[in-house]
Amino acid sequence: MKKKILLSTLALLLVASLAACAAPTPAPAPAPAPAPGAVTVSKPKVTPRAAPKQSR
């Protein structure tokens, strides 16, 4: 469920960024922000899996 929500939000962000680029408004600034956020969300999922292996 969470993955679908993330994909939908990313799709909306892409559409919004395209609309912002098409419009002469200074909106392209917030577009690059969500990219690092998505990367940070994927990292925590990998770290907890590696932690138990190190404890063993």
**Segment 1-56, tens digit of pLDDT:** 788 888 888 888 877 777 666 655 555 555 555 555 455 444 444 444 555 555 54
**Per-residue pLDDT at 22:** 62
**Which residues have C-beta within 8 Å of that of residue 34, sequence separation ≥ 6?**
9, 10, 13
Mark out the alpha helices in the chain (DSSP H runs).
2-22, 34-55
CA–chain centroid gap for 26, Å, is 21
User: How many domains, the chain?
Assistant: 1
Exposure on the CB side of residue 15, measured as CA atoms within 13 A: 6
Enclosing domain of residue 27: 2-55
- In this predicted structure, what is the pLDDT of residue 42? 46
